[in-house]
């Protein structure tokens, strides 16, 4: 996890659910995003704070430090290592939220192809995924090395039948604290390790195999599989 996701509501809907009073610098647009099958290495709507201003930018999903050119850019970072390992050291202080509607996992159920599952919140609310990255600068704009990773946790205690990793998801209060530059790095680590949403907050169901191809798009990809 997490290897595919959906962002189909508008950025203002995500911001409203986040309940942040900050003024919004929005480079994403005002229309619904209408993206049901978002793949790694593509541009994803991301929220981050710069000063007192909340920014909504499209940022590439995946990042690697400049010295790691011999490997593909990871799209996720393990919670157990992200705060102290050398790979993500440069971006650990630069926190963001990836607001999504759901994500997908693939499960081996004995068929020739793995079965895709959609995971979403039981209450239907937006999902605020903890992220870090090399983020666009308000003064300098986007850079060619900008990118982000989603922080993941162990799925032990739930959701392990779908996948052994899951994104670290915060409620709106913790998401605001995560975004706040004043939140100390040690506190951010504590939040990622201990305060993510419990697996009981989520539900999952089978969806059509068509979501496996990034060429396919549309709302039908998030509907439960019909038999």
Task: Select which of 2, 34, 144, 177 is catalytic.
Answer: 2
Which tokens is 196 given?
């993510």
Q: Judge whether 105 counts as a catalytic residue.
A: yes
Instruction: Identify the H or E element spanning 130.
Output: strand 127-134
Q: Judge whether 2 counts as a catalytic residue.
A: yes
Smallest CA-to-CA distance from 102 within 179, 196, 204, 178 is with 204
Do the beta carbons of residue 131 and residue 151 sit within 8 Å?
yes
Task: Select which of 105, 177, 195, 197 is catalytic.
Answer: 105
3-class DSSP state of 104: strand
3-class DSSP state of 40: coil
Question: Residue 27: how many CB atoms within 10 A of its CB?
Answer: 13
Residue with tokens 């396919």: 216
For residue 165, report the phi and psi dihedrals to the nearest 5 degrees.
-130, 155
> In the chain, how many H helices and how many E strands?
4, 14
User: What whole-number distance in Å separates Cα of residue 17 and Cα of residue 30?
Assistant: 16
Q: List, by residue number, the catalytic residues.
A: 2, 105
């Amino acid at each position: 996890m997490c290897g595919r996701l959906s962002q189909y509501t508008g950025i203002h809907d995500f911001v409203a659910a986040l309940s942040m009073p900050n003024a919004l610098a929005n480079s994403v647009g005002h229309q619904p995003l209408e993206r049901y099958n978002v793949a790694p290495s593509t541009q994803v709507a991301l929220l981050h704070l710069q000063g007192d201003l909340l920014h909504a930018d499209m940022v590439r999903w995946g990042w690697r430090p400049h010295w790691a050119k011999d490997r593909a850019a990871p799209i996720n970072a393990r919670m157990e290592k992200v705060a102290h390992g050398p790979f993500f050291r440069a971006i650990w202080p630069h926190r963001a939220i990836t607001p999504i509607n759901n994500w997908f996992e693939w499960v081996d159920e004995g068929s020739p192809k793995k079965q895709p599952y959609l995971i979403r919140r039981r209450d239907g609310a937006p999902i605020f995924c903890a992220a870090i990255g090399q983020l666009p600068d308000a003064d300098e704009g986007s850079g060619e090395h900008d990118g982000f990773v989603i922080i993941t946790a162990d799925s032990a205690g739930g959701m392990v039948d779908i996948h052994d990793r899951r994104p670290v998801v915060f409620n709106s209060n913790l998401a605001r604290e995560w975004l706040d530059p004043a939140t100390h790095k040690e506190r951010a680590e504590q939040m990622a390790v201990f305060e993510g949403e419990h697996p009981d907050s989520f539900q999952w169901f089978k969806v059509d195999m068509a979501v496996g191809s990034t060429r396919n798009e549309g709302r039908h990809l998030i509907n439960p599989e019909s038999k």
